[in-house]
Amino acid sequence: MASPAPCTLTVDQRRRFYAEEIRVVAGIRSQALVEAFVNVPREHFLGIPPWRYSSGFSLQTGAYRATEDIRDLYHDVFVALKQQEILNNGQPSLIARLLEALDLGPGKRVAHIGCGTGYYSAILAEIVGQSGSVVALEVDGDLAAQAAANLREYRQVKLLHLDGARAAPGHSDAILVNAGVTHVPAAWLHDLAPRGVLVVPLLIGKDPSSSDSLVVRIVRDNEGFAATPLTVLTIYPSPSLRDASMLVSLHAAFESRKILGLHSVRAYPHEREESCIVHSSLFCLSSDPVRNPATGKAG
């Protein structure tokens, strides 16, 4: 059998093909997001070659393949950042779905919690432009240092070496969380602007070390928070936002499919009700529409 003919596309042509492939696979409608994937050089954020990448069928060490060819990076694959910790750059089509759910445009203020080496922060910066801003937070010191270097040319990006679980992201039109958590800190909700969007993966695995997550889109609606399930993915779990009892409740709600009836987040003290899908003293996933916390009534 003859060997496949070598690919003759240039790197620029590969970037365009890659962005269009993400558009189709992820169902992206935002042309600005597609162009951001064209314009940001992925290799700039992945360290020194050889790079190790995987198609997503397995997270086992042997599933990674090594390459020094930049063109290999322009496929819908994730690339290892810290392979022994199963920490990678994220599968572009999956992250693209989360980025589109933020409903961004020029001038928007975005917080990116768990920014890794900064690739998707750069994508965000492209979309919001010079009139917007991106606050990128990363708890891992090595990754934060790399992100700071990688993002130097993006004047609208501020890199903070902080644990996003313990930091207020600042007044934001959108917040993207790139780590699995069991609950949402009050500061993330408090800092959302009116109609602001928070996209966050909630851990749903049975095992405490699991990284399976249900991604939820939360929108600030007056003083309440509307919520919608988006997709399921595997993502690196937060080192600090994992509560064992909440994980048990989230897993049970997912297994029973009750969590698919999610309509709101209630971030104020209240007694458990029939509509509480996952309940704690200060964070509750509810099947009810948004309620006014002052009156406890919908609307």
- Owner of token pair 């104020």: 268
Q: Give me the mean pLDDT over the 187-201 stretch.
A: 96
What per-residue confidence (pLDDT) applies to 299?
52
What per-residue confidence (pLDDT) applies to 281?
79
Q: Could you tell me which of 156, 139, 122 has the C-alpha nearest to residue 237?
A: 139
107, 133 Cβ separation under 8 angstroms = no
Q: Does position 296 have pLDDT exceeding 60, yes or no?
A: no
Q: Does position 32 have pLDDT exceeding 90, yes or no?
A: yes
40, 123 Cβ separation under 8 angstroms = yes
17, 38 Cβ separation under 8 angstroms = no
pLDDT, tens only, 37-84: 999 999 999 999 999 998 765 555 567 889 999 999 999 999 999 877
What fold is seen in the domain 95-298?
A: Rossmann fold (3.40.50)
Q: Does position 153 have pLDDT exceeding 90, yes or no?
A: yes
Q: Does position 255 have pLDDT exceeding 90, yes or no?
A: yes
Distance, in Å, from the CA atom of 101 to the CA atom of 261, rounded to the nearest integer, reads 19
What per-residue confidence (pLDDT) applies to 6?
60
Q: Does position 3 have pLDDT exceeding 60, yes or no?
A: no
Residue 295: Cβ within 10 Å count = 9
Q: Give me the mean pLDDT over the 209-236 stretch.
A: 92
What are the residue boundaries of the structural domains of the chain, listed by start? Answer: 95-298
What per-residue confidence (pLDDT) applies to 84?
78
Between the CA of residue 93 and those of 23, 24, 63, 73, 98, what are the distances in Å?
A: 8, 9, 19, 13, 9
pLDDT class of 274 with cuts at 50, 70, 90: very high
Q: Could you tell me which of 234, 229, 245 has the C-alpha nearest to residue 283?
A: 245
- Which has more pLDDT, 141 or 296? 141
Q: Does position 298 have pLDDT exceeding 90, yes or no?
A: no
Beta-sheet strand order (sheet of 87-88): 65-67, 51-54, 78-82, 87-88
Q: Give me the mean pLDDT over the 274-294 stretch.
A: 85
Mean of the per-residue pLDDT values for the chain?
91
Q: Does position 118 have pLDDT exceeding 80, yes or no?
A: yes
What per-residue confidence (pLDDT) applies to 57?
56
Q: Does position 185 have pLDDT exceeding 70, yes or no?
A: yes
Distance of alpha carbon 153 from the chain centroid: 22
Between the CA of residue 124 and those of 78, 98, 259, 261, 292, what are the distances in Å?
A: 18, 11, 29, 30, 32
Q: Does position 136 have pLDDT exceeding 80, yes or no?
A: yes
* 213: helix, strand or coil: strand
| Distance linking the first and last C-alpha atoms of the chain | 67
